[in-house]
A and B are shown apart, each in its own frame.
Chain A
Amino acid sequence: MQSLSPNILALLPEYILTIVGVLIMLAEPLLPPASSRKPLGWLAILGTVAAALASWCQLHLGTLTAFSGTVQVDTFSVFFHLLISAIVLVTLLISLDYFEGSARHAGEYFALIVFSAVGMMLMTCATELLLVFVGLEISSIATYILCGFRKGSATGAESSIKYFLLGSFATAFFLYGIALAFGATGSTSIAAIAAGLATTTTPRLAFLALAMILIGLGFKVSSAPFHVWTPDVYQGAPSPVVGYMSTAPKAAAFAVLLRITFSAFGPMEHRWAVLMWILAALSMTIGNLGAMLQRDVKRLLAYSSIAHAGYILVAFTALRSEGIAAVCFYTATYAAMQVGAFAVVTQVTGYDEQIRSIDDYTGLALKRPVLAAFLGLFLISLIGIPFTGGFFGKFYVFSSAVHSNHVWLAVVGLFNSGIACFYYLRLLAALYTRPATENTRLDRSSRSLGVPAGIGLTLAAAATLVLGIFPGHFLNLAQRAGAAPAPTSAASTPATVPPAAVTLPMQ
């Protein structure tokens, strides 16, 4: 029998978050119906910080395996744990005021966010595809529900249903991929698949398995041609939820994709790199061209998130360790700027979201200069202008593609970055233009910026800037993460970097 302690140690962040989620569920009915749900939100925030600290401590323990090798905690998984907790933390801070007054059932909202984080964390540390599947479902079902949280609005219901149906369809592909991988290699564990591929007599079946898994995860990260749900779902879902669901589940899905492609199906790299090439080029082009046609700000950001998924996929064509580091870094910078942008959208539009199009945003800087400045910073980072995180993210991604001789893909990417400038700058210019007619919609929404939301925005902005000005420390952690996801549990990554040298700006 195994001793109990590694099993507890390795999954400590997940345990903490699960307990916090259950506590919120239990406390919700005990509070009087008319009272504020903020204490539950603070409990969720406390739990997220505790989970992040627990993951931080795991960084110093080297590689831990638990539950018969279904879980492997290494630098790679800790990186994504910290990233996910940071996203959850900022989202919770933004949501505290969002639900005040309008929806009294915010307790379930906090519990769902916390539980979905458990699912994502399990995905990132799982080395067993069945556990990945269960984690994926936990996070997906929670996000389906969160999308339709504003029950009054028809677009909310549409968003939830659409996401649920297409998401379930995608999960079916993922599950079929797992079944085929089992058929081809005789196992669903990542290490055993990697070993089995060397001796498999059915390489075509194995490749089909990988293709199915790619389709399933492609839906989750909204890469073209599996992106059709993205604009409608993002438009209907509540803004803080969109900020959350366009970053955290994608980060977890990319972590799984990294483990599956580079670790499990590593020997087949020459084959799947072609698929990744096509997916990346399609996502970048369709995302950016689609965004140019949009007048609705949330739809614009939805298409831009498709394009950013494409940029991240570019790094999958690169050499192993460099590619993984680039994906980790870009995922983190993308999370910082995307969550930040949607935090501003949340503050501007409020709960009922009457302010939608670029015309409604015209003149925001005159009415609410601080929010406009924040949004401006995030847009500049999304463009990829130097001294913001977005610049270094794109830089590492494209240089990693060039190093592995995918020059044309990098050219396509750079060309797309140029197109992207156009629509981001159009929105940015609108913020600082005086509107032709007096814009009364903005007046109606002029709530003052609450303290928790202010902290959340500042954290996202600080992360965007720190990743752009001092990328070195963070890249160091990303590179250590890149070296980590070795398929065998024997490969340990000694903590050679002194802990003080690794700052985590996302925190």
Chain B
Amino acid sequence: MQLALFIIFGALAVAGALNLLLQRHPINSALSLVVVMMSLAVLYWSLGAEFLAAAQVIVYSGAIMVLFVFVIMLLNAGKEEKTTGSRAAYIAGFPGAAAIFCLLTFVFLSEQKALGVANLGGHLNSGLNNIEELSRVLFTKLLLPFEVTSVLILVAILGAVVLARKEDQ
């Protein structure tokens, strides 16, 4: 059951990601990204990270994707045009992505013995609670990074104000 889920959603994630790259219309790419995000959420869940899976659905598939779609609609972005720059990006991009993929595969496969294997779905029955563990770490050891994020958001708001203002000459 777990293995079947993994194969189905793993394949969906890869297919969605490839479709995202190959589609020429931005809205199609954005919708393929939703597929990738949702499949990843299922994979997280089957690995026992149920909080991460929920956050993935709410934050990425929910908030961020809605923003993406809004931006595409507001810009009224049409079909992608082929330019010399985009062709160069294809020529450099695909071998680059393939090289990174090969490198990561090589490293993970060569460390296979030490890394061990994941027990799909095994953590779901172990009684360990994700949220409890995460919140303990966030409010004790990682309190400062957690709090400093507020400065980060403040800077982002300030940046939005700067970008939205009109320059009077």
Contact = CB atoms under 8 A, between A and B. Distances in A.
A195 interface: no
B110 interface: yes
A118 to B, nearest CB: 6
A96 interface: no
Nearest to B106: A204
Interface string B125-169: 000000000000000111111001101101110110111011111
B155 A142 contact: yes
Interface stretch (A105-113, A247-255, A290-298, A387-395): A105-113
A204 B144 contact: no
Contacts of B145: 70, 128, 130-131, 133-134
A419 B154 CA distance: 44
Interface string A139-165: 001101100111110000000000000
A384 B111 CA distance: 47
B148 A112 contact: no
B158 A25 contact: yes
Nearest to A205: B111
In this complex, the member of B107, B110, B143, B169 whose beta carbon has the largest number of chain A beta carbons within 10 angstroms is: B107
Contacts of B107: 204-205, 208
Contacts of B165: 105, 108, 151
A112 B158 contact: yes
Contacts of A111: 158
Contacts of B154: 21-22, 25, 115
B152 A141 contact: yes
Interface SS of chain A: helix, strand, loop or mixed?
Answer: helix
B159 A67 contact: no
Given A103-B167, A104-B168, A204-B107, A131 B144 contact: yes
Contacts, number: 100
Contact of B162 (A105, A122, A183): A105
Given A152-B169, A202-B111, A145 B141 contact: no
Contacts of A141: 152, 155-156, 159
Interface string A67-109: 1111100000000000000000000000000000011110011
B151 A119 contact: yes
A145 B144 contact: no
Of the four ranges (under 10, 10 to 19, 20 to 34, 35 or more), the interface on chain B belongs to: 20 to 34
Given A105-B165, A108-B162, A202-B114, A67 B151 contact: no
B167 A152 contact: yes
Nearest to B103: A208
Contacts of A204: 107, 110-111
- Residue from B140, B149, B155, B161 with most neighbouring chain A CB atoms (10 Å): B155
A411 B73 CA distance: 56
B148 A135 contact: yes
A333 interface: no
Interface in A401-420: none
A138 interface: yes
A354 interface: no
Contacts of B158: 25, 108, 111-112, 115, 145
Interface in A203-227: 204-205, 208
Nearest to A131: B145
28 contacts: A25-B154, A68-B140, A69-B141, A70-B142, A70-B145, A102-B169, A105-B162, A105-B165, A108-B161, A108-B162, A108-B165, A112-B158, A115-B154, A115-B155, A115-B158, A118-B151, A128-B144, A130-B145, A131-B145, A133-B145, A134-B152, A141-B156, A142-B159, A148-B163, A151-B167, A202-B114, A204-B107, A208-B107
Interface of B: 103-104, 107-108, 110-111, 114-115, 140-145, 148-149, 151-152, 154-156, 158-159, 161-163, 165-169
Sorted nearest first, the 10 A-B pairs with minimum C-beta distance are: A201-B114, A145-B159, A67-B144, A151-B167, A202-B111, A131-B145, A130-B145, A68-B141, A202-B114, A108-B162
Given A70-B145, A145-B163, A204-B111, 10 more contacts: A102-B169, A104-B168, A108-B165, A131-B148, A137-B152, A138-B151, A144-B159, A151-B167, A202-B114, A204-B110
